[in-house]
Chains A and B, each alone.
Chain A
């Protein structure tokens, strides 16, 4: 595939071109001492010159010694908030006399360009596509939000302290699921972007950019950057037979060890880019003529989540953590044909007590090996 190389000075043309095509641009920007995803109006709003230091229960922004645009990994937010929003309306109900009418919410066109989607996040979107579009039923909200997305992916040039995409085979290189993929190259006086297309729509945008054609040397730069990132993963997770290991380890004592520190705060499920559980809410108007049924993100860590006839099936924190992790790494494979974990490390970083899915898995594995 022929790519283009844009200089730092002309990178803004990509934003301008997407704007011209009618896309609202959404991408990373610095807010509240973290990197969040929000609407962008110019390249200047990117986290220029910032990087992030991540570890179990710890996230800090630090200054880089250069002006890189994409010199960090992922923050607490993921693209999930746009495709499967924290709140959405399921249906509206009208009441006239005794009669009820049910109608879907109105949905308007919203062409959006996602800027800076990482390989693990492409994998997460693919997984949620499978959940909401490819499992027998179609989720109308997700389907609508998923249409009209133009994806500008970015190959990670740094690995975060809690990253393990190499273990989950989702990164760091973006291989599919994007319209354009960008690799930022910073080296002795050069600051440029190697851009390749992954779709016809991407090809059209690429053709309109004022870059030079990529040559072998540029491709070599990209390969070296990706290889270096892959070599510096903060974590590893042994996925060999992990499904069998977790099913066999349902009664391992390590779940008790985790439960001793787990606050059941739900952070891991909210930051996870693949967690899809939701609950519902009903709000009726004061005059009783209309009602709205909505859904909002829920978490298997909450006590009410499994409530049956008023009492929870999973009353202990141990059972709730076990449900989350066993679902993510084992049950997901039975349900959707892939792991539910992409190795982004968010659940480790944003856990207030630093519970580490890679360490828990290793502990359960060690246990199961002892037990045979």
Chain B
């Protein structure tokens, strides 16, 4: 009777309610990582912007935030690493299985804002998943950008995601694709070392570069610092944060990172916004 606060924007009343999606295809990327193609069992599905995520629910097991790796016309592609109970259950799904999905949530990569600029896309490990659709966007709208580069690092050659696509992207000669691993294996003739080692090799004009970086926090920090030392502004370097998350709409409190809720103020934020926090351990 004395409710004073008024909702800023009331989205769907059922925004906590997932919609059923069917697994149409599931493919092994690495020993612990699978890529799933999903389509809505009915209804329009989910339209998203690159960098956003959804909450994926497995019957009776639970729900986890998963970045959107791709998908069109309401369909989704998710790449999932089996690290906990829910992600293990997702990786054990087969074609025809139904999951619940709600979203999309969160901020997106500034891909349309980067019109006319050089792009540096830097990924570490499974961090390539939320960047995959930005690479595709850049390829599909190649004339809108200056230099475009993807630098990608994983621990070992066996942990590279989207290997066929990496080959295809590289073979089109429209963007530069550089890959490195921490530890080589038999048959690896590529680079060995940190992803930052690839930075001197690619072309970009620091004055007009937008960088999009996703990987472990330490990797993002090192790449951002390195780009900064090469005169790319920290406002132009975007990172994608990851935190524990239960609700994705700012109620559960788990994803707080300083004053930000990663679920709605992130996951994609300019590095300048989090630079001071990233220096302190356990924030």
- A contact residues vs B (CB 8 Å cutoff): 90-91, 93, 95, 98-104, 126, 129-140, 146-151, 176-179, 198-199, 201, 247, 250-251, 276-280, 282-284, 288, 291, 293, 295, 298, 300, 305-310, 313-316, 318-319, 323, 327, 330-331, 333-335
Contacts and interface: CB of A to CB of B under 8 A. Distances in A.
A318 B16 CA distance: 33
Q: Interface SS of chain A: helix, strand, loop or mixed?
A: mixed
B182 interface: no
B280 A278 contact: no
Report, nearest first, the 10 A-B pairs whose CB atoms are least far apart: A134-B5, A284-B60, A277-B253, A319-B282, A334-B259, A331-B259, A129-B5, A137-B249, A291-B60, A309-B83
Contact of B243 (A198, A251, A313): A313
A346 B54 CA distance: 37
Contacts of B246: 278-280, 295
B75 interface: no
B2 A178 contact: yes
Name the interface size band of chain B. Answer: 35 or more
Nearest to B81: A309
B251 interface: yes
Chain B CB within 10 Å — which of A198, A291, A314, A316 has the most?
Answer: A291
A201 B62 contact: no
B282 A316 contact: yes
Given A93-B100, A306-B243, A279 B252 contact: yes
11 contacts: A98-B96, A98-B98, A100-B99, A137-B15, A147-B3, A176-B2, A251-B280, A278-B252, A280-B246, A291-B59, A310-B83
Given A102-B18, A137-B11, A316-B282, A132 B251 contact: yes
Given A98-B97, A280-B246, A104 B17 contact: yes
B41 A104 contact: no
A307 B84 CA distance: 10
B242 interface: yes
A78 B18 CA distance: 32
Contacts of A140: 13, 16
